[in-house]
Amino acid sequence: MTVGVHPLAGFDKLLHYRVPETMRSAVAVGSLVRVPVLNTMRLGIVGEIGAPRDFPLDKLKSIAQVVHPFPAFPPDLFGLARWMATYYACGLDSIIESMLPAAVRHGAVVKQEKLLTVVRRLTPDELAVLTKRAPQQARLYTFLAQQFRPQPKSLVLARLEQTAAVAAALVKRGVLGEEARRVERVAYADDFAHGELVASQPHAPNAEQAAAVAALDASLAAGRFEVSLLHGITGSGKTEVYLRAVDTALKAGGGVIFLVPEVALTPQTVARLRSRLEAIAPGHRCVVWHSHLSEGERFDGWLALATGEARVVVGARSAIFAPVANLRLIVVDEEHEPAYKQDETPRYHGRDVAVYRAKLAGAVCLLGSATPSLESFANAQAGKYRLLELRERVDARKLPHIDIVDLRIEAMRQRGLTALSRKLVDAMQARFERREQTILFINRRGYSTSMLCTKCGHVEECAHCSIALTYHRADETLRCHLCGGQKAAPARCPKCGAPDIRWKGLGTQRVEEAVRRVLPRARIERMDTDAMAKKNRFREVLSQFRAGKIDVLVGTQMIGKGLDFPNVTLVGLIDADISMHIPDFRANERTFQLLVQVAGRAGRGDTAGEVIVQTFNPQAEAIQFSRHADYAGFSAAELKIRRDFRYPPFRHLIHHLFRGPNPEKLKFFAEQWAKLVEKELGSRVELRGPSASPIEKIKDEYRWQLWYFTNSVTKVVPDLVRLRAGFAWPDDITQVFDVDPMNLV
Ligand SMILES: [Zn+2]
Ligand SMILES: [Zn+2]
């Protein structure tokens, strides 16, 4: 028997090996094996059973070890890896590697722990005697006798403050039993023990929820590939629909992958899933999967899924590669989130990969959002996805009232710019007196690179590309980093003539200081990546906020996502403009999504909420449509612009980045390359650029870029890869493709 193996790390081809007699029964496609490559041992995945075409069989080396007695890679992952390699223009090895958790690649092992359990119950008389003669032993016995299942020895002894000798005495008397068992390192176990998180109680679905559930049940019963887009306004109970679909899939014996955009959001989602799973299907385990886990936790979760002990995984982007067998359902919550796109190789989009994996597995893919991405919405409109809608909030609660504050007027009134408008200050003070809570959001993106007139709100845009121009300090120019067009940076606003048109935006710290000045007695907490660098700080602050120990929470978007805070009645957005003027054709979409999601945080409890949005451009469509969370209106207007400019979703975009130490050389080769592509693929690809990247230089390396617009990625990428391989690149220039990039900045 011979097999073809994909070695991990650095070998992008199949190598063939002989399988020794003793290992034959354990080897299948997807097995993780250890094989000799050159003079080292490497891990690899068995990709095919069979012999090489052009290599003498007697010269083949043998597999050294089969690491696990089950396939580490389900067959559908292979198909997925091949598709990803083609679509995202990267090596199969880098994809296979990213599909396996590091812990598995490093050969992590199973952890053993001793468990204690009562094996002989004492009679009341015996217990009375024991209590008198050995009170410590009696305490340990009584504690364990109340437990339903065996307890970890070290934990129990630590909690009761007893020594191992106490347990040993009871074991010796045959009262307690000690057993060694594989122990799961369960992530977030502590949260559940302390009841910090809100468990979701199943409630009767309203008519819209019931209709969505029925549609999904029918899809799941049909057992074939289908994508549904669940568009539900904030507070409409999307989670309940997800959970019911998960129920259905599990009851039919299937496996489920549940994706959430950010790690920070996971504890609450996991808690909800767990509590529901335990209620409906006792014994079901929910594996948590994301990059912040310890290697041990990751390995145990992976093992539980690969062996079929667990059938549900919830996690961030990379959970889409979990070895879930008999996959029936993939849920992608907040499918519009850019966090699903990985910004290092392989540069895949978790949502798009989810759709493709569902296709390969013949499963149902459920995408959910209050503000679907225009890509998904266009697919629904074209009939490729089934559209499920939830238009009512659960319990018919009202959407919060949204107030727009015009910062141009505010700047005139207050004689200069301040972080907090009069209206926002008054509203915050009123909340503080009523003991209600406030969240202030700050929009954090690289703003200093574009120009905004604080007098009239004007931002210079590229006439050809309809995106904000980027300000380059070095030569005082404004440039378009899509088409490369440039002009001298104006000293005065081209629209109103105001002299100062550079505004840098505000950091979280400055906003926090401003809040302290107007609310000196309030308890204020800041939450951004700097303040949250310490592990667990994020969850600590959230739990304090939930407990009402914080009056005002100041932070970036990260605080808002999917979290329910019933006592928050005011949400302020300090600077709506920043996301609107990032030099990206998705700027309006981002702004609309941000506003609607942020507004959804206010008034989730019994009290009505208020939202105050500060902006220099109150008339902008993204802001006007968001006032009534008018997704239909917004998407129609925005899709029209996208169609006019032939931007995604009407075409695909591919980014090509060039890096090198010598700027002239870099420019020369980027231009030569662009000429070649134009000549060879010009009929299928529209090129823009090459031009200097918005950030021209990082760590002594210059950066240039080129954009390709195309109708079909799969028809263009293989040709680009082929041309690139045949092009005479100098050694000091490196370059990367990014297919369907989510951020143009
Ligand atoms: Zn102006
Ligand atoms: Zn342009």
pLDDT digits (tens, 9 = 90+) for 409-435: 888 887 766 789 999 999 999 999 999
Scored b (16 or more CB within 10 A) or e, 422-450 reads: eebbebbeebbeeebbbbbbbbbbebebb
Centre of ligand 2 from the C-alpha of residue 706, in Å: 12
Centre of ligand 2 from the C-alpha of residue 689, in Å: 9
Find the ligand nearest to 616 CA: 1
Q: How far apart are CA 556 and CA 262, in angstroms?
A: 14
Centre of ligand 1 from the C-alpha of residue 469, in Å: 15
Centre of ligand 1 from the C-alpha of residue 452, in Å: 8
Instruction: Scan for tokens 């980093």, then name that residue.
Output: 481
Nearest of 46, 26, 76, 5 to residue 324 by alpha carbon: 76
Segments of 102-248 assigned E as strands: 112-118, 151-152, 176-182, 226-232
Centre of ligand 2 from the C-alpha of residue 575, in Å: 25
Other CB atoms closer than 10 Å to residue 676's CB: what's the count? Answer: 14
Scored b (16 or more CB within 10 A) or e, 246-274 reads: bbbbbeeebbbbbbbbbbbbbbbbbbbbb
Look at residue 601 in the predicted model and tell me its pLDDT: 72
Domain ranges of the chain: 1-72, 112-182, 192-395, 397-447+505-641, 652-739
Neighbouring-strand partners of residue 255: 327
Centre of ligand 2 from the C-alpha of residue 482, in Å: 5
Find the ligand nearest to 478 CA: 2
Q: Superfamily for 1-72? A: PriA, 3(prime) DNA-binding domain (3.40.1440.60)
Find the ligand nearest to 492 CA: 1
Nearest of 561, 560, 645, 629 to residue 592 by alpha carbon: 629
Q: What integer is the mean pLDDT of 687-706?
A: 87
Find the ligand nearest to 454 CA: 1
Q: Under a CB-based contact definition with an 8 Å cutoff, are residues 95 and 346 in contact?
A: yes
Residues in CB range of 136: below 8 A, 6 or more apart: 162, 166
So what's the architecture of 192-395 in CATH?
3-Layer(aba) Sandwich (3.40)
Rg (CA), the chain: 29
Look at residue 491 in the predicted model and tell me its pLDDT: 84
Centre of ligand 2 from the C-alpha of residue 617, in Å: 22
Look at residue 447 in the predicted model and tell me its pLDDT: 44
Residues in CB range of 462: below 8 A, 6 or more apart: 468, 469, 480, 482, 483, 485
Centre of ligand 1 from the C-alpha of residue 408, in Å: 10
554/376: higher pLDDT: 376
Q: Under a CB-based contact definition with an 8 Å cutoff, are residues 716 and 654 in contact?
A: yes
Q: What integer is the mean pLDDT of 94-99?
A: 87
Look at residue 96 in the predicted model and tell me its pLDDT: 86
Q: Under a CB-based contact definition with an 8 Å cutoff, are residues 44 and 89 in contact?
A: no
Segments of 220-296 assigned E as strands: 226-232, 255-259, 286-289
Scored b (16 or more CB within 10 A) or e, 330-355 reads: bbbbbbbbebbbbeebbbbbbbbbbb
Q: At what angle do helices 587-599 and 631-645 cross, to 10 degrees?
A: 170
Answer whether residue 686 shows pLDDT above 80: yes
Nearest of 178, 170, 186 to residue 151 by alpha carbon: 178
Equal fold, 192-395 vs 397-447+505-641:
yes
Instruction: Scan for tokens 């690969």, then name that residue.
Output: 306
Ion ligand 1: residue ranges with CB closer than 5 A: 453, 455-456, 458, 493, 495-496, 498
Q: How far apart are CA 724 and CA 578, in angstroms?
A: 37
Centre of ligand 1 from the C-alpha of residue 8, in Å: 56
Centre of ligand 1 from the C-alpha of residue 496, in Å: 4
- pLDDT digits over 269-321, tens only? 677 777 777 676 676 778 888 767 777 888 888 988 988 888 999 988 999 99
CATH number of 652-739: 3.30.70.600
Global confidence as pTM: 0.83
Q: What integer is the mean pLDDT of 495-502?
A: 80
Centre of ligand 2 from the C-alpha of residue 222, in Å: 48
Centre of ligand 2 from the C-alpha of residue 481, in Å: 7
Centre of ligand 1 from the C-alpha of residue 491, in Å: 11
Determine if residue 187 is left, alpha or beta; phi over 0 gives left, psi from -120 to 50 gives alpha, anything else beta.
beta
- pLDDT digits over 115-153, tens only? 888 888 899 999 999 999 999 999 999 988 887 777 888
Find the ligand nearest to 467 CA: 2
Q: How far apart are CA 334 and CA 375, in angstroms?
A: 13
Topology of domain 397-447+505-641, CATH? Rossmann fold (3.40.50)
Q: Under a CB-based contact definition with an 8 Å cutoff, are residues 622 and 580 in contact?
A: yes
Centre of ligand 2 from the C-alpha of residue 619, in Å: 24
Nearest of 367, 372, 338, 334 to residue 631 by alpha carbon: 372
Residues in CB range of 93: below 8 A, 6 or more apart: 6, 7, 8, 9, 10, 11, 12
Centre of ligand 1 from the C-alpha of residue 183, in Å: 64
Neighbouring-strand partners of residue 552: 438, 524
Q: How far apart are CA 117 and CA 208, in angstroms?
A: 48
Chain center to CA of 581 = 24
Answer whether residue 596 shows pLDDT above 50: yes
Helix H or strand E segment including 477:
strand 477-479
Find the ligand nearest to 479 CA: 2
Centre of ligand 2 from the C-alpha of residue 732, in Å: 29
Centre of ligand 2 from the C-alpha of residue 486, in Å: 8
Long-range contacts at 211-215 (CB < 8 A, ≥ 24 apart): 211/388, 212/241, 212/388, 212/389, 212/390, 213/241, 213/244, 213/245, 215/386, 215/388
- pLDDT digits over 423-468, tens only? 999 999 999 999 999 999 887 654 456 678 878 888 888 888 888 8
Centre of ligand 2 from the C-alpha of residue 94, in Å: 34
Centre of ligand 2 from the C-alpha of residue 464, in Å: 5
Ion ligand 2: residue ranges with CB closer than 5 A: 462, 464-465, 480, 482-483, 485
Q: Which DSSP string corresponds to 158-192? A: HHTT--HHHHHHHHHTTSEEEEEEE----TTHHHH
